[in-house]
Amino acid sequence: MILLTLSASLDGLRPLPCMAKPCQKASNLQNAVLSIALALIALGTGGIKPCISSFGADQFDEADKKEVKKKYAFFNWFFFAINMGALLGITVLVYVQVKKGWVWGFGIPTGAMIISIVVLLCGIKYYRFQKPMGSPFTRFMQVMVASVRNHLRGVEVGCETLLFEVQTEESDIKGARKLARTSQYRFWDKAAVIADRESIPTTNRWHLCTVTQVEEFKSFLRVLPVWASTIALSISFAQLSTFFISQATIMDRQLGHSFKVPPGSVPIFSAINALFLVPLYEKLIVPALRRRTGHYRGITSLQRMGVGLFLSIFAMASAAMVERRRRERSPAPLSMSFFWLFPQFFLVGGAEVFTYVGQLEFFYDEATDGTRSISSAVFLSEIGIGSWLSTALVKIVEGVTGGTEKGWLRDDLNQSKLDYFYWVLTLINVVNFLVYVVVARNYKGKKAAGVSVSDESMVELGGPHPELRGSS
């Protein structure tokens, strides 16, 4: 953020103001500084986002029933805080940028980031910390390599097959609790099969993994279908900062006689929805659902995500109908109020509230002790994948329908058929919702996957001269 602010404030790091055509192009150095600043912001954001939700949830003791309830309330208020920041960004900061310039527009969030670091450091002595457990990707690769190696050797997994586990209170993964064997994805159990009782490699996990390590990998695999079946929402969410803004640009944004809403501030509809819906959901809807369902969260995380995906269908259908009305009513610009965009922004925001918070809960709950941060990162990767898929879909539609001059998505939005594109997104969301329902109904979580461990099926190993014995 400091580098970005400098690139906007120092004459040597930015092109000179354009006083006459053609404008002076940015130099290679100026482009490089800007690109490095944006890359550092992306890198920093990638470090913050997947860790902050998991770290916040780690502050609550899962063994304490009162704190468990507060943990799930934390996810709601965490999302509330994100949207409060977004609201300030698309209103106050946009206004400052328009009136005062980019130096102030970048300088204010830079100062806010510095303050946030100070606040974080002040809280260090109060936080609960989880021990670093190493890279889960390395452990995943070890399971895959060991499984394939044993499979090629002809190893089979049966009811009486001996599986390997260490003879300690904690697992072989430092700081992680042991996991019981489950019946799902039995192929990967081959990584823990003890082929020879007399010569068990105690440290080489590329040859023999523990049951806990295998189950950690299985747990990660289980959430991938749920993750994949919620990506379509991110495609719809990408429209908030693309075509929705393009619509607002050619609509009447006048408020009163002297104030005109900047196009970049129109997503306020979505942010306000989150600020309104989160407290309503937490204080009124959850207690009512809790009394009706008996579930301490009112509804499960999977059900909550389903509600969000269902809302996304109506969000894009609303966008299609509004765009059709705008296009047919008058081709002249500024002939229709931007308040007509409120339903599609509000519904996309509502879909995000239910799905995003449901995903935060789901990926935290279903992750093992050593994979919570990486699980959060996988879920957050949907946003980037959704943006990429949205771009790809636009290019496909442009190519199939006749390009930017004759197709649905032309350079002139008044001559385009953007509503047809929105109907395509609506259809995608319908199909995605149906796929999600099937995936969610068949999902087996950590508690439902089923334990199939017997005294004869798993062996614990400990000490320099291990003794083999049965363990349940």
At 437 the pLDDT is 95
Choose among 353, 358, 345, 340: nearest CA to 315: 345
Element containing residue 117 per DSSP (H, E): helix 102-122
Q: What is the average pLDDT across 19-27?
A: 79
Q: Is the pLDDT of residue 371 over 70?
A: yes
Residue range 375-412, pLDDT digits in tens? 878 877 888 888 889 999 999 998 898 877 788 888 77
- What is the pLDDT at residue 148? 93
Q: How long a stretch of residues is the chain?
A: 472
Say which residue, 228 or 444, is predicted with more confidence. Answer: 228
pTM: 0.76
Q: What pLDDT, on a 0 to 100 scale, did the predictor assign at position 199?
A: 56
Q: Where are the domains of the chain?
A: 1-129, 136-219+450-463
Which amino acid, residue 253? R
Paired tokens of 294: 């008996």
CB burial class (10 A; 0-12, 13-18, 19+) of residue 141? Answer: middle
Evaluate if residue 450 carries a pLDDT over 50.
no
Q: Report pLDDT for 297.
A: 65
Task: Give how far Cα 472 sits from Cα of 213, 444, 451, Å.
Answer: 17, 22, 10
pLDDT digits (tens, 9 = 90+) for 294-336: 766 677 889 889 999 999 999 999 999 998 888 877 665 566 8
Q: How far apart are CA 152 and CA 161, in angstroms?
A: 17
Query: What phi and psi, each to the nearest 5 degrees, are found at residue 260?
Result: -120, 125
Question: What integer is the mean pLDDT of 267-275?
Answer: 77
Distance, CA of 368 to CA of 265 (rounded, Å): 40
**Which residues lie closer than 8 Å to 314 by C-beta, 6 or more apart?**
347
- List, in sequence order, every beta strand (DSSP E) within 119-232: 163-166
More confident residue, 239 or 262: 239
Q: What are phi and psi of 371, to 5 degrees?
A: -125, 15
Q: pLDDT, tens digit, for every residue of 180-208?
A: 888 888 899 988 888 766 455 567 888 88
For the chain, give the percent of residues with pLDDT over 90: 22
For residue 67, give the 3-state DSSP assignment. helix
Judge if the upstream peptide bond of residue 22 is cis by omega within 30 degrees of 0: yes
Structure tokens at 429: 């969301």
